[in-house]
Amino acid sequence: MTKHEQILQHIRSLEVGNKISVRHVAKVLGVSEGTAYRAIKDAENQGLVSTIERVGTIRIEKKQKENIEKLTFAEVINIVEGSVLGGRNGLYKTLNKFVIGAMKAEAMMRYVEAGNLLIVGNREQVHKLALEAGSAVLITGGFDTSEDVKQLADNLELPLITTSYDTFTVATMINRAIYDQLIKKEIISVEDILIPVEKTDFLTAGEKLSRWRELNEETGHSRYPVVDPELKLLGIVTAKDVIGEEPDTQVEKIMTRQPIAVTSLTSVASAAHMMVWEGIELLPVIDQGKKLIGVISRQDVLKALQMIQRQPHVGDTIEDLVTRHFEDISTPQEHAFTLEVSPQMTNHLGTISYGVVTTIVTESSSRVLRKYKKGDLVVENITIFFIKPVQIDAAILVKPKVLEVGRKFGKVDVELFHQGQLVGKALLVAQLIDR
């Protein structure tokens, strides 16, 4: 096990709420502070710890996908750029809902329950009542509170937070964070579809090629990961590698070393792109230490992509915003779409943003290519020419023209018009993934 893996294992073994420091980890495990820092950053990416300004790094409960719309108090502090006045030991806890305190104390307390976050201004009595009810408190406007209230927060291990933002802004920021997490929840990743290592057929480096032939007869598959005794991925063996080889040849002598692999957090769309581009039917899935944790097949990836398209969406991305306003006005002679530039589609100058133009080109190309060939589209290259700026509320006419459609690739020329004048032009090349 590498030093990096040892540190991650040590972090996982800590109780939720424990404070973690680079210096302490380096001293306990006998590693350099640089190694400890990199491992703690990796743990933060994995959702094992949270780092808060002026507080430090603490061990938190890793959120499951189905619970992703809930936030810990540590995350709230980072969202609202706040600081902790008391109750540091409760920062790892998850809040159930937040309540805005904009009424008399007696009426307000009817809505405040244990596990809540009360957002309120400089009302010291309300701070105390909320803490006694089991609710954390977020004080807006940059105000402080009394030492008695801070002591109470420490005793009850309920976070007492202050932020310079006003109540409305804070509520908007927290809502935005939850909304963003809901969008992330919809993105299917490799961990949602992988075949776990317990159900995966693989070879060890010391085995003979005869074992590959046995597995091939049993499963009908021809591609197997090769691992060492600790399940660390060393290579992969395919039908191409075994041609002309003797049955007693060792697997490690013919395997392809440093194979393409993905992690559990890789999106299914990225995995599909790799598989199509490289012509791969199976990908190993590894953890941070390159240990095999499972595999994904091309068939499972394509099924997942189809499922994504059928799912109802909770959060709106920029792409959702643009495509919702798309209107198809195609005729038998040509493909055409119209779109009105809304305020959200513009940049700081009030003209259509480059990102929105890219989305328009991609969406219109995707729609026309689907009329020639069913399947999903992965953009390989886009060349865009911005001829004239397009301002807010302008109506755009989009004319995509298919130049070529092959078995795996499509090329589309897209022209954008406003009031009869050419304002933009693009050439898109895309990979086509069969369903």
What's the CATH code of the domain at 182? Answer: 3.40.1390.20
Residues 229 and 151 placed together within one structural domain of the fold: no
Q: Which of residues 275, 307, 339 is at a domain's end?
A: 307
Q: What is the mean pLDDT of the chain?
A: 85
Note the pLDDT of residue 66: 45
Q: What is the pLDDT of residues 215-238, one digit of tens each?
A: 888 888 888 999 998 899 999 998
Note the pLDDT of residue 310: 53
Give percent of the chain with pLDDT exceeding 70: 90
Which of 318 and 15 is assigned the larger pLDDT? 15
Note the pLDDT of residue 309: 56
Q: Is the pLDDT of residue 160 over 70?
A: yes
Residues 175 and 272 placed together within one structural domain of the fold: no
Q: What is the pLDDT of residues 262-310, one digit of tens each?
A: 988 888 878 887 887 777 888 999 987 889 999 998 888 877 776 655 5
Tokens 């990416």 locate to 45
Note the pLDDT of residue 314: 47
Note the pLDDT of residue 130: 93
Q: Is the dihedral of CA 43, 45, 47, 49 positive or negative?
A: positive
Residue 47 — left, alpha, or beta (φ > 0 → left; ψ -120 to 50 → alpha)? left
Residues 49 and 108 placed together within one structural domain of the fold: no
Whole domain around residue 419: which residue ranges?
318-434
Note the pLDDT of residue 146: 93
Separation between Cα atoms, residue 48 and residue 44, nearest integer Å: 6
Note the pLDDT of residue 357: 92
Q: What is the pLDDT of residues 103-113, one digit of tens each?
A: 788 888 888 88
Mean pLDDT of 382-391: 92
Domain total in the chain: 4
The token pair at 307 is 């499922």
Mean pLDDT of 398-407: 92
68 in any annotated domain: no
Q: Which of residues 186, 216, 231 is at a domain's end?
A: 186
150 in any annotated domain: yes
Q: Which range is most confident: 261-275, 322-336, 358-372, 415-429?
A: 415-429
Note the pLDDT of residue 67: 47
Instruction: Report the run of H or E that residue 376 belongs to, with start and end.
Output: strand 376-386
**Gyration radius of the chain over CA positions:** 28
Residues 354 and 416 placed together within one structural domain of the fold: yes
Q: Is the pLDDT of residue 61 over 80?
A: no
Note the pLDDT of residue 180: 66
Confidence of residue 47 (pLDDT cuts 50, 70, 90): confident
67 in any annotated domain: no
65 in any annotated domain: no
Residues 276 and 175 placed together within one structural domain of the fold: no
Report whether 382 contacts 428 (CB < 8 A): yes
Query: Looking at 29-33, 302-306, 310-314, 387-391, which range is the least confident one?
Result: 310-314
pTM of the prediction?
0.49
Q: What is the CATH number of the domain that holds 50?
A: 1.10.10.10
Separation between Cα atoms, residue 90 and residue 107, nearest integer Å: 26
Residue 159 — left, alpha, or beta (φ > 0 → left; ψ -120 to 50 → alpha)? beta
Q: Is the pLDDT of residue 63 over 80?
A: no
Residues 175 and 204 placed together within one structural domain of the fold: no
Residues 172 and 222 placed together within one structural domain of the fold: no
Q: Half-sphere exposure of residue 110, counting CA atoms within 13 Å on the CB side?
A: 5
Note the pLDDT of residue 308: 57
Note the pLDDT of residue 339: 92
87 in any annotated domain: yes
Query: Looking at 47-61, 282-296, 346-360, which range is the least confident one?
Result: 47-61
Q: Is the pLDDT of residue 404 over 80?
A: yes
Report whether 428 contacts 365 (CB < 8 A): yes
Confidence of residue 62 (pLDDT cuts 50, 70, 90): low
Q: What is the CATH number of the domain that holds 229?
A: 3.10.580.10
Residues 210 and 133 placed together within one structural domain of the fold: no
Note the pLDDT of residue 312: 47
Q: Is the pLDDT of residue 148 over 90?
A: yes
